[in-house]
Amino acid sequence: MNSHPMVPSAAKFIRNLSLRERNTFGLEANAELAYEITAADQIPAVMGEILRQQLSWRVLGGGSNVVLPATLRGATLLMNIPGQEIISADAQSTLLSVRGGVIWHELVAWTLENDLPGLENLALIPGTVGAAPIQNIGAYGVELAQYIHSVQAFDIRTQTLTTLPKEACQFAYRDSYFKQQPNRFIVTNVVFEIPKEWQPRIHYADLAQQFSNNPTPTPEEIFLAVCKIRTQKLPDPKIIGNAGSFFQNPIIPVEQYETLLLKYPNLVSYPDIAGKRKLAAGWLIGQCCLKGERMGNVGVYEKQALVLVNYGNGTAQDILGLAKCIQEKVKKEFGVNLEIEPNIL
């Protein structure tokens, strides 16, 4: 009996693809060449071709953390690998394997439906599972890194699919080994370790307020509360283009924080690692009277100063011009540098 080796399916190839629907800013952008990746085993052939032609390239998931130019030269890999399954469980935890193209929020909902609580604080964060570890997404006192067991990625340098255990991922605040090595890894699969023992995490101000009369909410109640808070603060990208938080919360030395506190007693901040303080970037921008500010087709969202919005027909230049203006005003007022969170392609 002859056994045939599994032949990888070919990735779908499209020229001049509009990406307006694939970036949450709703920017008019065209990909010269696009490859739709629906299985990890398609990547070696695609990357082999890209490298042979010496094309520039990038991976696009949900497009929720990017600012796209009018034309994306070279090749754009659309990460559409579907599927998730439980791979093992013991008395302590459950291991859950999830493909890179799965929509993050849909995964969070699925974990609750399947009695695997833990990720509920990260509900409604836009984007795909493949992008989540690169940025080490976090919200309401929880970071993705707390739940990661390992990450599978295609390594451009070695041209192989490789698995990185959690320790090798070098997770930090909105940072990872993948982010530090741009254009080296394409994340194809993430294995999550969900502990069996669950505790509500509602110490973050907005959540604490929601549950002031209910100190022991269920995972589902936390999920719904997070969705409610995020919906109130952040505009729906389908209605008004945005990429969520546009700036990282700056981390400064305690001495600088104490000096600022003398001048601004209402300064909003959180403890960080020893000797550092994390400032609320949205508060800093708000103090510069920029909330609701509009510059042509783009502006600062009136309900949340951390969010830049595209009112329609805005371009990457418009958004970056506004961002630069904000950075300069915050630097002048507070002596603090704001770093842009989305990737500028």
List active site positions.
174, 245, 341
Token digits of residue 238? 């389908």
Which of 65, 59, 58, 60 has the alpha carbon at shortest distance from 24? 65
What secondary structure does DSSP assign to 92-120, as a single string?
SEEEEEEETTSBHHHHHHHHHHTT--S-G
Any idea which residue has 């984007």 for tokens?
127
Residues 223, 46: Cα–Cα separation, whole Å: 38
> Based on C-alpha coordinates, what's the Rg of the chain?
21
Beta-ladder partners of 187:
153
Other CB atoms within a 10 A radius of the CB of residue 255 amount to: 10
Residues 17, 32: Cα–Cα separation, whole Å: 7
Other CB atoms within a 10 A radius of the CB of residue 119 amount to: 25
Question: Which DSSP category does 199 fall into?
Answer: -
Any idea which residue has 């909003």 for tokens?
268
Distance of CA 229 to the CA centre of its chain: 18
